[in-house]
Structure 1
Amino acid sequence: MGFQVNNNVQWVGKIDWELKKFHGDELSTHHGSSYNSYLIRDEKTALIDCVWTPFAKEFVANLKKEIDLSTIDYIIVNHGEPDHSGALPELMREIPNTPIYCTANAIKSLKGQYHQEWNFIPVKTGDKLNLGSKEFIFIEARMLHWPDTMFTYLTGDNILFSNDGFGQHLSSEHMFNDLVDQAELYWEAQKYYANILAPFSKFVENKIKEILSLNLPVDMICPSHGVIWRDNPLQIVNKYMEWASDYQENQITIVYDTMWNSTRHMAEQIAAGIRLSDKDVTVKLFNCNSTHTDKNDIITEVFKSKAVLVGSPTINKGISFAVAGILEMIKGLGFKNKKGAAFGSYGWSGENTKLISTELEHAKFELINEGLRITWNPDDEALMKCQEFGRGIADSLK
């Protein structure tokens, strides 16, 4: 059932406690998620977004308990992706003529997904919709993270309904930011940014500057996933500006896969060498095989890092499936201001480091060196080379 966000705004979404994967199998959601839908009552009544398709019937049934559906005057679709719009077909069967306000790109998206000619009303930045004592102001937010995305601002209550912006995949019985574990909240917010919004950082930066230039007071930010920001809501806006600006921390992340532990031993000695040279830098090691570490957690650590070292054995003149996958994700996410280097063991042909270095270059990482290759299982001399390799990495980053 819903709960009151304030006197005239009600949350009517769905908390998905059991969700573990999102975007197919592309994104892990260790803490579940929520699909946030909001009912705004003034002289006119509006519904902002709905929920994912599997919960469509439940959503409409619950909404009927809150309001006579025929009294909903407007539907606002901030983004057409199915986790936000999936219940629309079920809802529109009940109120088929209700106008749907969204961007022109969202109309294309919704028609393409649901093949319905609903009563679409296209809007663009600056357009307004009067509710009586308050009004909506629409703000296009293209590529945050789809071309059809927009934000909706509610005057009077000073609420920004930000859709995917400023959200997190986090389920909680406490749906406000001041009531949840802050470390968990910010980890999930950063993971969401790193894995979903990072490719569009320039759009994020420009859009935030545009919104701030409008001088609209913001007392609350209501995203479409996770908790509502009511306590100092601009704290997450400031974090987004920080994350969008070629973000890095004083961290080096080592990502590797291994067949018979040779590459793992290399990774551990490289880490030891880094620590011997720089006791202040944070060093994190991850075996990227899916049986060991979640790929999206690794990506979040890569996003935080100033340098990333990637290791793999040579397998059939190539590199491991897991390492190749992580490199492909890194390339697609378009991280900036990162350095990288390759390492790995081999027995015969030894193409691994060259292949990894090439992929890091394709991801726009600055190569620190040509990489380190060790034959077979590293002996004491080889392990010392790994330590020296780590020292050299740390020294180059000081």
Structure 2
Amino acid sequence: MKEFVQVSESVTWTGVIDQDMKKFHGEELSIPNGTSYNSYLVKDEKTVLIDTVIHKMGYDWVTKLKKEIDLNEIDYIIMNHSEPDHSGALLELMREIPETPIVCTEKGVEILKKYYGKNWKFHPVKTGDKINIGSKDLIFVEMKMLHWPDSMLTYLTEENILFSNDAFGQHYANYGLFNDMADQDQLHYECMKYYACILTPFGGILKNKLEEVLSLDLKIDMICPSHGVIWRDNPLQIVQKYLKWCNNYIESQVTIVYDTMWESTRKMAESIAEGITDVRQDIKVKLYNSAKNSENDIATEIFRSEGFLLGSSTINNGILPSMAALTESIKGLKFKDKKVGAFGSYGWNGRSLDILNRVLDETGLERITDGVKIMWNLDDEDTEKCREFGRDFAKSLFVELL
């Protein structure tokens, strides 16, 4: 277990690194670079613990925390968010200090009681409430539905540190701990993936909340999230990225996703990509087989794309399972301002195209084509038909640039 790290004059990182964690939210989210569960100890005239860690590491974490401080000296435990990756070690900790007040939102009280069945000494707070800990105050800002109804931020005055919980974090087990000690390309991608796959549905709420927080004119010298790196070098850079991402962010990219049985749909995808690049050679076109790539990585590429296309063979009057799973994810993430279309191959029943078109219509995105379907395998005429489909899609997508 990584040694605790001094973050500032009064703040110590008391979290754990979990390099072996490869899936999150059950099996829903792929995190190939692991994650961290960031907990923080704030020492002034009073001592405050901000967030705990996941349950499976609870015993070792509490044992190590005892070496850092007499647990009875902890005056408050602040739970910015009740999800079990942050609150899971509470059971182990509260066995040691059962009378210590737990500070959280009203909804946090409800959720913690439901998860752990304990009537601990709760101290509910709302936006603007504060706790004085000596020479500094802790100020609380509710962040409802980012991404749970109990979420909040905690701000430490004097040192100007924002404890942001899931906001501005990423699943990235970086042993350097701080953002200036990380691989910057990897860090940027993991931040975008975290936003795309978790926070996208709440973009409108997030935009309003970020504007509210910025209007408070708080000086922010450091942002300490509950997953991934601590932002000490230009910490507002991640806030600016969030402001871009929550404003229906797009790049000049088309993502083509397919699943295939006997390679016909793959050949269609490749021919469509050639057609797109015939029209715009400077456009990024990315192809992914939904059965062979992470659903979350694909969703991240769709998030950043101006348009995307889905393709599947027909099987049992439906679409292939990996594509069915992806379409459910796309519907749930509620992407905005993207143009879409579908394609597919078949033998005796071409229903896959109809199903994909219906799913795309359910997303509320702009479907700009009825799609294309090919029977059995592609001959030269079919290949050209797919290329032309790609050209037409590109022309519709970038009509204002032509």
- TM-score normalised by the shorter chain: which range applies? over 0.9
1:132 deviation in Å? 0.5
Corresponding residue number in structure 2 for 1:233: 235
Superposed CA deviations along residues 23-45 of structure 1, whole A, max 9, x for unmatched, are 00000111000000000000000
Residue 26 of structure 2 corresponds to which residue in structure 1? 24
Deviation at 1:322, TM superposition (A): 0.6
User: Equivalent residue for 1:382?
Assistant: 382
Q: Once the 2 structures are TM-superposed, how far is the Cα of residue 391 of structure 1 from its aligned partner?
A: 0.5
Counterpart of 2:42 in structure 1 is 40
What SS does structure 2 have at the residue aligned with 1:306?
strand
AA aligned opposite 1:22: F
Secondary structure (helix, strand or coil) at the match of 2:251 reads coil
Distance 2:41 2:318 in 1: 54
- TM-superposed CA distance for 1:373, in Å, is 0.7
What is the Cα deviation at residue 348 of structure 1?
A: 0.9
| 1:50-129 map, 5 Å | 50-129=52-131
Name the aligned partner's letter for residue 40 of structure 1: V
What secondary structure is seen at the aligned counterpart in 2 of 1:260?
coil
Identify the residue that residue 366 of structure 1 maps to in structure 2.
366
Counterpart Cα distance in 2 of 1:312 and 1:210: 44
AA aligned to 2:337 is N
Query: 2: CA distance between counterparts of 1:122 and 1:171?
Result: 32
Shift of 1:157: 0.6
Cα distance in 2 between the residues matched to 1:122 and 1:361:
43
| Offset from partner CA, 1:172-231 (integer Å, 9 cap, x none) | 110000111100000000000000011101111011100011111000000000000000
Q: Partner letter of residue 340 of structure 1?
A: V
Q: Please identify runs of 4+ aligned residues in structure 1 that moved more than 3 A.
A: none
Give the Cα–Cα distance (whole angstroms) in 1 for the partners of residues 30 and 346 of structure 2. 32
Alpha-carbon offset, residue 62 of structure 1: 0.6
Gap regions ≥5 residues in structure 1:
none
- Which of 250, 253, 265 is 2:252 aligned to? 250
Once residues 358 and 166 of structure 2 are traced to their aligned partners in structure 1, the CA distance between those partners, rounded to angstroms, is 33
Give 2:381's aligned amino acid: E
CA deviations 1:111-151 (Å, max 9, x no partner) are: 01000000001100000000000010000000110000000
Shift of 1:280: 1.3
3-state DSSP class of the match of 1:192? helix
Aligned-pair CA distance for 1:354: 1.2
Q: Which residue of 2 aligns with 1:343?
A: 343
The secondary structure found in structure 2 opposite 1:255 is strand
Counterpart of 2:397 in structure 1: which amino acid? L
Map of 2:226 onto structure 1: 224
Q: Which amino acid aligns with 1:136?
A: L
Q: Which amino acid aligns with 2:123?
A: I
Residue 166 (structure 1) shift: 0.2
State the one-letter code of the partner of 2:368: I
| Matched residue SS, 2:175 | coil
Q: Deviations over 1:207-257 (max 9, x none)?
A: 110001111100000000000000010000000000000111100000000
Quick one: distance in 1 between partners of 2:306 and 2:41? 43
Q: Quote how far apart the aligned CAs of 1:390 are.
A: 0.4
Matched to 1:145, the amino acid is: H
Give distance in 1, aligned partners of 2:364 and 2:39.
38
* Secondary structure in 2 matching 1:183: helix
Task: Show CA shifts across 1:257-285 (max 9, x none).
Answer: 00000000000000010011111110000
Structure 1 residue 397, shift from structure 2 partner: 1.2
Matched to 1:261, the amino acid is E
Instruction: Name the residue aligned to 2:193.
Output: 191
How many angstroms does 1:362 deviate by?
A: 0.8
1:276 alignment counterpart: 278
Root-mean-square deviation (CA, aligned residues, Å) is: 0.6
Quick one: which amino acid aligns to residue 82 of structure 2? Answer: G
What is the distance in 2 between the residues matched to 1:116 and 1:338?
46
| Alpha-carbon distance in 1 for matches of 2:251, 2:5 | 38
Query: Among 201, 208, 231, which residue is 1:206 paired with?
Result: 208
Partner Cα separation in structure 2 for residue 324 and residue 239 of structure 1:
31
* Distance (whole Å) between structure 2 residues aligned to residue 200 and residue 62 of structure 1: 36
1:378 is displaced (CA, Å) by 1.0
- The one-letter amino acid paired with 1:48 is I
In structure 1, how many angstroms separate the alpha carbons of the residues matched to 2:364 and 2:21?
A: 33
Q: How many Å separate the matches in 2 of 1:339 and 1:325?
A: 20
Supply the AA of the counterpart residue of 2:372. Answer: L
Q: Which residue of 1 aligns with 2:155?
A: 153
Q: CA deviation at 1:349?
A: 1.7
Q: Distance in 1 between matches of 2:365 and 2:347?
A: 28
Q: Deviations over 1:61-89 (max 9, x none)?
A: 01001000000000000000000000001
Q: Which runs of 5+ in 2 are unaligned?
A: none
Write the deviation string for residues 279-299 of structure 1: whole angstroms up to 9, x where unpaired: 11100000000xx21111001
